[in-house]
């Protein structure tokens, strides 16, 4: 057992898979103490179907792990060998890159449609993706909000002004 | 081959002038019948349509520019295309009136071929091109360039390919749709410009799957596979000179070839052997099979025309019969052969004076009665029961004719059963002069169910070889041995699951012997290779080799290699911690020490099937007999040898799931109990109790059985380690390296009505099984006087008892709550420790089961009294007067060391329980309200309601699943608030908590709390 702050991991026994945090897995892997099993969603077939779905359904996003970009990057830089031969790694990597691109273009498409202070529901957005658009999105929504508030004020002012003017006069 | 059969001599009648000639059969559909003609064309420029029987010309045409070298008939039989010196002309059939000129050439034409649909014609000759003509509009739609004179053409029956043989000896295959040459092959020698040679190839009529083409000057015919154009076979050995013409029979069963040696040979394609041959006076220039019947027409280079009637001997299938006819004929033949065989067999049996059933089979007798039968007269013959082997019990005077009759009947018999018939008048009836009743007894021999073959020997944890792929020779809990083919040898790699196990990595082994078995032990690997037939360059057959490679050895040259004597094969290997063993095909068990000295040579009781080793133990599974034909089960026995004691511990039959075969053999990792897995996935462990029986401890869940296969690697007393494979590929691949998944063992116990979940009872059974194993070892250790080992084992044993008690308590609780008090009492009687009994008592009290509590208390008292009376570790086998004598007595007998030898008072117990409760916070139970308990807990009665009692933080935090108190939500009277006395649930937790090592029942100190520093800290933590 390996007690950590969050919880204890293990027991570690030879050739029996244990679920551990990625950092621990990579640390052990670097020391040649373990083999890493790629997560389920990085399976080639699963990625292919996911990509296909992602492409064909433009309305919403496919559920992906929250940190899929980061996990993929870590594994591809640190532990390429776990995917098999070089061709296999490249294929999986290409699929993930493709997935990222498709999702990114979807996000940009969605952003283009934002034309007012609205509530946007973005499900299944991964951490890095939401981070990517957060600043822009938040600010633009704020601006929209400001504008609409101003618009309302202005209209109210107009209304009251048009009513008030004669009375005050 | 040559001169095997006598060559038929063929007489040809002169039909044409000397030079290339050609012929084909033309079928003209007449009124209700078909008429066959032979169309011939020859060097004299004449084209004849001849009667197919007497070859008399019926119609004649003359070409403008002789010679008419080639002729082809449209598949529909409407046109004959004739090629002469310049033109390809189409003549109408049967009048042979000129239809049109299909195309023109500058030089002599040599070859013509119609496309299979008859719409196109390929023509070629000395012009070095192949012209493809569309016959509808008469245009040359494509010209294929081939740079050489074309000798002949053949269009594939599917119309895709066009084969052209060239003067240079080459064979070119064109894709007819694109005009590209797909393949060029070099077949024969080059011939002269003016040579009359043809080198005609021929496609198999069945979709052109095979192209037969003459090759070489020795008269061979090569069979080329379609698409790959690889050589599939040769027809050779008959012709002495090059083959000129090849022709498939209409159904493709035979090939007729004619060569420069003036011989004609008919080949059976399937057997690639000749069935008939003939000689003629001239070299054949054209051959054609008659579309119906068994005739082969030919035309020679000197102009002779002839017909070989019945070239295929009558003993063979007809060359023109369709597939259905052939099949029917074959069936007929088989039936006949079968009937003959049966008749023969029947006769033999008849001679043996008995209708003996084959082994496992039986004779059924049927009595058919005819005539008038007086029902009041029970005839002895009729009353004879229908029974097996009745034929043998027949009286002597009657037996003879009966059997003979039976044999005759069988001679005529056809089909599934042989029958013996017998007609006789009932003796009694005849004697009494009553109306005669005729009865026929029909005996039917029923063949035995075909039994399975004995399972071949295997190594546990090996995967079957696949060509070119790496495989596991051995995969077990230690590591793996994999063999990867590279070139002419294999590379063998040994990997350990625990890489820190040995300091040095085991180097890869370059395997030149072809090791196909390996046993990975904890000291080394034993390999064996099969013997090879002696075509080796080194000379002589290679014997079966044995090779042992230790992992770390203090001395150099610790590995050893030994050849087995010729005729002896290594079948099974095992490698333990002090020995290596090999079982051979001579039914010898050879034992070696690790360094290679031969320690024993034993005869096996049967052909070895598999072996496994653990420590000094060797488990051998062998066939004790042929598989049972009725149950389809293998007859397997196992022997366990102790190599240190030089003893055979037991030999007993190994029952498997009916119909299954053995798939894995080994030992449990922790207790060293023999274990097996069968092909149904059921794991069985041999318990030392019950005189050593096999307990099924795991069955693959039915829901997942179809989707996945478990490939057993090893098991412990509680868990199975298996590689989960897909059902399509039930063996793990070497790469990626498989990992194993632990799975809880679950004996198939029943789920009783209002009882505990079967899992809990199953677990209890498993723990009891471990207890049994440990007790056996403990007894052995005590007997041997190994004090240290005994104390270790005692410790383990107590721990195991605690675990068993924990499960029993769970079951007990369920039983009490399900109001099954009698069962609960039995469960309590099985518990080993007083602590657990106390827990059981509290649970009973809590659930207001007064009668039960009373009985448990009485039982405890008695057991305690008994324990006090006994010296420590005294066996405790005395009869116990429990509340349930039988149950208690059985329990005590079964668990000889169950009673803690040192008495302890209840106060001590309670105090200890309190400490232990604090000790095991994570298991802390949610309390229940206390109700008038008996015994020590009645001091605790005041805490009922629990509102006043302080809450133990732990109790608040955690509720142990499965053992949670009856009212989990209720307030807890923790040990602190409850005046230092435990509630039933804390006590249950005490029993379920992991025992404190060294402080428990075996050598219990009066104040165990002192042993546990954590226990003293617990109250602090609570604050």
pLDDT mean over A68-88: 87
Distances from the Cα of B137 to the Cα of A25, B101, B121, B196, angstroms: 76, 11, 12, 32
Q: Least CA distance to B478: which residue of chain A?
A: A14
Cis before B842 (ω within 30):
no
Whether CATH 3.30.565.10 fits A38-159: no
Q: Would you say B954 and B799 are in contact if contact means Cβ atoms under 8 Å apart?
A: no
Provide the pLDDT for residue B896.
39
Cβ contact, residue pair A15, B497, below 8 Å: yes
B922 touches chain A (CB under 8 A): no
Calculate how close chain B gets to A128, using CA atoms only, in Å.
31
pLDDT tier, A94 (very low <50, low <70, confident <90, very high otherwise): very high
Nearest of B809, B715, B718, B820 to residue B761 by alpha carbon: B809
Which residues fall within 8 angstroms of residue B138, CB to CB, at 6 or more apart? B100, B101, B102, B103
Query: pLDDT at residue B927 above 70?
Result: no
Calculate how close chain A gets to B789, using CA atoms only, in Å.
25
Query: pLDDT at residue B948 above 50?
Result: no
Provide the pLDDT for residue B957.
38
Mean pLDDT over each residue of chain B, to the nearest integer: 75
B740 touches chain A (CB under 8 A): yes
pLDDT (tens digit, 9 = 90+) per residue, A1-43? 778 888 888 788 888 888 888 998 999 899 888 888 888 888 8
pLDDT tier, B969 (very low <50, low <70, confident <90, very high otherwise): very low
Give bridge partners of residue B57 from the DSSP assignment: B50
Calculate how close chain B gets to A47, using CA atoms only, in Å.
19
H/E segment holding residue B553:
none
Can you tell me whether residue B657 is helix, strand or coil? coil
Q: Would you say B72 and B121 are in contact if contact means Cβ atoms under 8 Å apart?
A: yes
Share of chain B above pLDDT 90, in %: 12
Residues of A in contact with B737 (CB under 8 A): 35
Query: pLDDT at residue B967 above 70?
Result: no
Computed on alpha carbons and rounded to an integer, the radius of gyration of chain A in Å comes to 25
pLDDT mean over B737-763: 83
B739 touches chain A (CB under 8 A): yes
Q: Select from B735, B736, B740 the Cβ nearest to the Cβ of A15.
A: B740
Cis before B584 (ω within 30):
no
Cβ contact, residue pair B499, A32, below 8 Å: yes
- Start-to-end CA distance of chain A, whole Å, equals 85
Provide the pLDDT for residue B348.
57
Residues in B 362-421 with any Cβ partner in A closer than 8 A: none
Report the distance separating Cα B740 and Cα B375, nearest Å: 73
Report the distance separating Cα B917 and Cα B906, nearest Å: 16
pLDDT tier, A96 (very low <50, low <70, confident <90, very high otherwise): very high
Query: Which token pair is B679?
Result: 């092909």
Provide the pLDDT for residue B503.
64
Distances from the Cα of B786 to the Cα of B463, B779, B799, B860, B919, angstroms: 41, 10, 20, 32, 33
pLDDT (tens digit, 9 = 90+) per residue, B286-321? 888 888 888 888 888 888 888 888 888 887 778 887
A10 touches chain B (CB under 8 A): no
Query: Which token pair is B334?
Result: 């088989």
pLDDT tier, B694 (very low <50, low <70, confident <90, very high otherwise): very high
- Superfamily grouping for domain B1-19+198-311: YVTN repeat-like/Quinoprotein amine dehydrogenase (2.130.10.10)
Residues in A 17-36 with any Cβ partner in B closer than 8 A: 17, 32-33, 35
B498 touches chain A (CB under 8 A): yes
Q: Would you say B482 and B472 are in contact if contact means Cβ atoms under 8 Å apart?
A: yes
Q: What letter would DSSP give residue B357?
A: P
If one compares B361 and B497, the residue with the highest pLDDT of the two is B497
- Ordered by start, the domain boundaries in chain A are 1-36, 38-159
Query: Which token pair is A51?
Result: 């990509």
- Candidate from B330-339, B475-484, B655-664, B938-947 with smallest mean pLDDT: B938-947
Provide the pLDDT for residue B346.
56
Q: Select from B496, B736, B741 the Cβ nearest to the Cβ of A84.
A: B736
Q: Would you say B734 and B465 are in contact if contact means Cβ atoms under 8 Å apart?
A: no
One CATH from 2.40.50.100, 1.10.287.610, 2.130.10.10, 1.20.810.10 for B471-700: 2.130.10.10
Cβ contact, residue pair A14, B497, below 8 Å: yes
pLDDT tier, B686 (very low <50, low <70, confident <90, very high otherwise): very high
pTM score of the predicted model: 0.51
Provide the pLDDT for residue B974.
37
If one compares B748 and B871, the residue with the highest pLDDT of the two is B748
Nearest of B74, B108, B78, B79 to residue B91 by alpha carbon: B79
pLDDT tier, A101 (very low <50, low <70, confident <90, very high otherwise): very high
Q: Select from B498, B736, B741 the Cβ nearest to the Cβ of A14.
A: B498
Query: pLDDT at residue B609 above 90?
Result: yes
If one compares B538 and B269, the residue with the highest pLDDT of the two is B269
pLDDT tier, B504 (very low <50, low <70, confident <90, very high otherwise): low
Q: At what angle do helices B850-869 and B821-830 cross, to 10 degrees?
A: 20
Query: Which token pair is B388?
Result: 């097996």
Residues of B in contact with A32 (CB under 8 A): 499
pLDDT (tens digit, 9 = 90+) per residue, B90-126? 888 878 888 888 888 888 888 999 988 888 889 988 8
Query: How would you label B870-885 residue by residue, b for 16+ Cβ within 10 Å and e otherwise?
Result: eeeeeebeeebebbbe
pLDDT mean over B505-517: 84
Report the distance separating Cα B193 and Cα A14, nearest Å: 79
Cβ contact, residue pair A15, B741, below 8 Å: no
Cβ contact, residue pair B740, A37, below 8 Å: no
Calculate how close chain A gets to B477, using CA atoms only, in Å.
9
Report the distance separating Cα B50 and Cα B28, nearest Å: 12
pLDDT mean over B721-730: 85
Residues of A in contact with B741 (CB under 8 A): 16-17
Report the distance separating Cα B228 and Cα B230, nearest Å: 5
Calculate how close chain A gets to B661, using CA atoms only, in Å.
28
Cβ contact, residue pair A33, B736, below 8 Å: no
pLDDT mean over B165-192: 85
Provide the pLDDT for residue B144.
85
> What phi and psi values does residue B72 have, to the nearest 5 degrees?
-145, 145
A84 touches chain B (CB under 8 A): yes
Report the distance separating Cα B671 and Cα B688, nearest Å: 11
B496 touches chain A (CB under 8 A): yes
Provide the pLDDT for residue B612.
94
Vertex B587 angle, CA B586 and B590, to 5°: 95
Computed on alpha carbons and rounded to an integer, the radius of gyration of chain B in Å comes to 45
pLDDT tier, B382 (very low <50, low <70, confident <90, very high otherwise): very low
Provide the pLDDT for residue B1022.
41
Query: Reading across the β-sheet that carries B647-653, which strands appear in turn?
Result: B608-614, B617-623, B636-642, B647-653
Q: E-strand spans in B635-718?
A: 636-642, 647-653, 662-667, 674-678, 683-687, 693-698, 708-715
- Which of B476, B713, B739, B743 would you mutate first to test chain A, the one with the most A CBs within 10 A? B739
B597 touches chain A (CB under 8 A): no
B475 touches chain A (CB under 8 A): no
Calculate how close chain B gets to A119, using CA atoms only, in Å.
41
Query: pLDDT at residue A56 above 60?
Result: yes
Cβ contact, residue pair B741, A17, below 8 Å: yes
Query: pLDDT at residue B344 above 90?
Result: no
Distances from the Cα of B772 to the Cα of A109, B185, B745, B940, angstroms: 70, 76, 17, 38
Q: Would you say B514 and B529 are in contact if contact means Cβ atoms under 8 Å apart?
A: yes
pLDDT mean over B229-246: 86
B736 touches chain A (CB under 8 A): yes
Calculate how close chain B gets to A86, using CA atoms only, in Å.
14
Q: Least CA distance to B501: which residue of chain A?
A: A14
Cβ contact, residue pair A16, B739, below 8 Å: yes
Report the distance separating Cα B597 and Cα B564, nearest Å: 15
Residue B657: CB atoms within 10 A of its CB come to 15
If one compares B600 and B383, the residue with the highest pLDDT of the two is B600
B184 touches chain A (CB under 8 A): no
Calculate how close chain B gets to A1, using CA atoms only, in Å.
16
- Candidate from B356-365, B748-757, B768-777 with smallest mean pLDDT: B356-365
Cβ contact, residue pair B739, A15, below 8 Å: yes
Give bridge partners of residue B185 from the DSSP assignment: B171
If one compares B440 and B525, the residue with the highest pLDDT of the two is B525
B1017 touches chain A (CB under 8 A): no
Cis before B67 (ω within 30):
yes
B9 touches chain A (CB under 8 A): no
pLDDT (tens digit, 9 = 90+) per residue, B696-707? 999 888 777 778
Provide the pLDDT for residue B448.
54
A8 touches chain B (CB under 8 A): no
Nearest of B644, B567, B573, B565 to residue B608 by alpha carbon: B573
Which residues fall within 8 angstroms of residue B917, CB to CB, at 6 or more apart? B924, B974, B975, B982, B986, B987, B989, B990, B993
The listed range with the strongest mean pLDDT (B56-60, B361-365, B703-707) is: B56-60
Nearest of B722, B724, B710 to residue B681 by alpha carbon: B710
Query: pLDDT at residue B519 above 70?
Result: yes
Report the distance separating Cα B665 and Cα B574, nearest Å: 11
Residues of A in contact with B721 (CB under 8 A): 16
If one compares B272 and B256, the residue with the highest pLDDT of the two is B256
Query: pLDDT at residue B992 above 70?
Result: no
Calculate how close chain B gets to A67, using CA atoms only, in Å.
26
Residues of A in contact with B739 (CB under 8 A): 15-17, 35, 37
Give bridge partners of residue B743 from the DSSP assignment: B720
B721 touches chain A (CB under 8 A): yes
Residue pairs spanning A and B at CB distance below 8 A: 22
Query: Which token pair is B472?
Result: 């596991």
Which 3-state string (H, E, C) describes B812-879? HHHHHHCCCHHHHHHHHHHCCCHHHHHHHHHHHHHCCCHHHHHHHHHHHHHHHHHHHHCCCCCCCCCC
Q: Select from B735, B736, B740 the Cβ nearest to the Cβ of A16.
A: B740
Cβ contact, residue pair A37, B741, below 8 Å: no
Provide the pLDDT for residue B875.
41
Nearest of B834, B888, B860 to residue B1004 by alpha carbon: B834
Which 3-state string (H, E, C) describes B335-347? HHHHHHHHHHHHH
pLDDT tier, B976 (very low <50, low <70, confident <90, very high otherwise): very low
Query: pLDDT at residue B180 above 80?
Result: yes
Q: Select from B498, B499, B739 the Cβ nearest to the Cβ of A17.
A: B739
Provide the pLDDT for residue B459.
92
Provide the pLDDT for residue B437.
55
């Amino acid at each position: 057992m390996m007690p950590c702050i969050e919880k204890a991991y293990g027991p570690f026994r030879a050739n029996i898979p244990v679920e551990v945090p990625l950092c621990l897995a990579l640390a052990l892997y670097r020391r040649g103490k373990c083999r890493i099993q790629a997560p389920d969603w990085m399976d080639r077939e699963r990625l292919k179907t996911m990509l296909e779905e992602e492409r064909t359904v433009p309305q919403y996003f496919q559920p992906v792990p929250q940190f899929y970009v980061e996990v993929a990057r870590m594994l591809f830089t640190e532990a390429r060998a776990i995917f098999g031969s070089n061709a296999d790694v490249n294929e999986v990597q290409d699929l993930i890159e493709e997935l990222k691109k498709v999702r990114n273009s979807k996000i940009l498409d969605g952003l283009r449609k934002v034309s007012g202070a609205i509530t946007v529901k973005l499900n299944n957005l991964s951490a890095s993706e939401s981070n990517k658009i957060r600043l822009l999105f938040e600010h633009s929504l704020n601006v929209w909000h400001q504008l609409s508030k101003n618009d309302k004020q202005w209209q109210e002012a107009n209304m009251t002004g048009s009513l008030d003017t004669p009375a005050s006069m | 081959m040559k001169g095997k059969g006598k060559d038929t001599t063929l007489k040809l009648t002169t039909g044409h002038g000397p030079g290339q000639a050609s012929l084909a059969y033309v079928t003209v559909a007449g009124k209700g019948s078909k008429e066959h003609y032979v169309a011939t064309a020859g060097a004299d420029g004449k084209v004849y349509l001849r009667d197919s029987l007497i070859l008399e010309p019926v119609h004649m045409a003359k070409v403008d520019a002789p010679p008419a070298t080639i002729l082809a008939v449209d598949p529909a039989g409407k046109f004959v295309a004739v090629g002469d010196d310049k033109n390809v002309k189409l003549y109408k059939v049967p009048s042979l009136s000129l239809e049109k000129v299909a195309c023109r050439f500058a030089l002599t034409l040599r070859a013509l071929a119609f496309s299979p649909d008859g719409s196109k014609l390929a023509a070629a000759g000395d012009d070095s091109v192949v012209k493809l003509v569309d016959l509808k509009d008469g245009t040359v739609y494509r010209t294929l360039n081939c740079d050489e004179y074309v000798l002949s053409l053949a269009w594939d029956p599917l119309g895709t390919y066009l084969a052209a043989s060239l003067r240079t000896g080459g064979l070119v295959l064109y894709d007819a749709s694109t005009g590209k040459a797909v393949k060029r092959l070099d077949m024969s020698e080059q011939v002269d410009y003016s040579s009359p040679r043809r080198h005609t190839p021929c496609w198999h009529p069945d979709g052109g799957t095979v192209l037969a083409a003459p090759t070489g000057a020795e008269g061979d015919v090569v069979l080329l596979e379609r698409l790959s154009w690889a050589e599939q076979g040769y027809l050779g050995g008959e012709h002495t000179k090059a083959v000129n013409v090849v022709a498939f029979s209409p159904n493709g069963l035979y090939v007729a070839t004619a060569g420069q040696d003036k011989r004609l040979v008919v080949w059976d394609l399937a057997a690639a052997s000749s069935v008939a041959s003939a000689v003629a006076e001239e070299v054949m220039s054209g051959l054609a099979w008659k579309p119906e019947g068994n005739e082969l027409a030919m035309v020679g280079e000197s102009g002779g025309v002839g017909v070989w009637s019945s070239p295929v001997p009558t003993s063979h299938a007809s060359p023109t019969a369709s597939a259905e006819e052939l099949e029917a004929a074959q069936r007929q033949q088989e039936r006949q052969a079968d009937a003959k065989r049966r008749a023969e067999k029947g006769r033999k049996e008849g001679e043996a004076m008995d209708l003996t059933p084959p082994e496992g089979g039986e004779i059924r007798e049927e009595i058919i009665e005819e005539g008038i039968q007086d029902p009041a007269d029970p005839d002895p013959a009729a009353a004879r029961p229908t029974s097996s082997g009745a034929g043998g019990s027949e009286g002597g005077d009657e037996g003879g004719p009966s059997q003979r009759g039976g044999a005759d009947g069988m001679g005529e018999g056809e089909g599934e059963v042989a029958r013996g018939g017998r007609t006789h008048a009932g003796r009694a009836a005849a004697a009494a002069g009553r109306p005669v009743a005729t009865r026929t007894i029909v005996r039917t021999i029923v063949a035995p169910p075909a039994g399975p073959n004995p399972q071949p020997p295997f190594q546990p944890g090996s995967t079957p070889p696949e060509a070119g792929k790496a495989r596991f020779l051995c995969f077990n809990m230690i590591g793996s041995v994999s063999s990867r083919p590279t070139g002419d040898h294999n590379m063998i790699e040994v990997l350990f699951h625990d890489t820190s196990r040995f300091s040095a990595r085991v180097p890869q082994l370059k395997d030149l012997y072809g090791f196909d078995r390996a046993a990975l032990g904890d000291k080394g690997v034993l390999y064996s290779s099969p013997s090879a037939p002696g075509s080796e360059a080194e000379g002589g057959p290679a014997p079966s080799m044995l090779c042992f490679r230790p992992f770390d050895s203090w001395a150099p040259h610790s590995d050893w290699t030994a050849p087995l004597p010729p005729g002896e094969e290594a079948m099974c290997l095992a490698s333990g911690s002090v020995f290596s063993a090999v079982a051979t095909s001579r039914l010898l068990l050879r034992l070696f020490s690790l360094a290679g000295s031969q320690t024993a040579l034993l005869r096996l009781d049967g052909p070895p099937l598999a072996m496994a080793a653990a420590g000094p133990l060797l488990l051998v599974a062998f066939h004790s007999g042929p598989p049972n034909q009725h149950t389809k089960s293998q007859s397997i026995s196992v022997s366990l040898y102790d190599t240190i004691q030089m003893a055979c511990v037991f030999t007993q039959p190994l029952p498997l799931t009916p119909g299954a075969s053995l798939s894995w053999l080994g030992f449990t990792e922790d207790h060293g109990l023999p274990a097996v897995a069968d092909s149904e996935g059921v794991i069985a462990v041999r318990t030392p109790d019950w005189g050593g029986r096999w307990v099924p401890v795991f069955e693959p869940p039915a829901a997942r059985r179809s989707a996945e296969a478990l490939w057993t690697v090893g098991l412990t007393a509680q868990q199975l380690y298996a590689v989960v494979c897909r059902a399509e590929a039930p063996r793990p691949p070497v790469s990626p390296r498989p990992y194993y998944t632990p799975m809880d063992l679950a004996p198939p116990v029943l789920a009783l009505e209002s009882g505990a979940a079967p899992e809990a009872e199953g677990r209890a059974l498993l723990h009891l099984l471990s207890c049994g194993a440990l007790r056996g070892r403990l007894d052995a250790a005590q007997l041997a006087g190994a004090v240290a080992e005994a104390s270790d084992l005692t410790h383990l044993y107590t721990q195991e008892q605690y675990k068993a008690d924990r499960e029993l308590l769970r079951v007990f609780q369920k039983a009490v709550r399900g109001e099954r008090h009698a069962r609960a009492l039995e469960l309590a009687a099985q518990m080993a420790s007083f602590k657990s009994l106390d827990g059981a008592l509290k649970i009973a009290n809590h659930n207001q089961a007064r009668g039960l509590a009373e009985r448990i208390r009485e039982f405890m008292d008695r057991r305690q009294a008994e324990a006090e009376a006994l010296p420590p570790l005294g066996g405790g086998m005395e009869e116990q007067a429990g509340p349930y004598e039988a149950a208690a007595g059985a329990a005590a007998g079964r668990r000889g060391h169950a009673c803690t030898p040192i008495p302890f008072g209840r106060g001590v117990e309670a105090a200890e329980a309190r400490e232990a409760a604090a000790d095991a916070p994570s298991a802390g139970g949610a309390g229940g309200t206390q109700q008038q308990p008996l015994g020590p807990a009645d001091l605790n009665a005041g805490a009922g309601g629990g509102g006043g009692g302080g809450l133990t933080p732990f109790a608040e935090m955690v509720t142990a699943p499965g053992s949670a108190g009856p009212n989990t939500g209720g307030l807890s009277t923790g040990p602190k608030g409850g005046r230092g006395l435990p509630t039933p649930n804390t006590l249950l937790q005490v029993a379920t908590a992991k025992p404190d090592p060294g402080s428990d029942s075996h050598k219990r100190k009066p104040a165990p709390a002192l042993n546990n520093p954590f226990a003293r800290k617990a109250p602090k933590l609570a604050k």
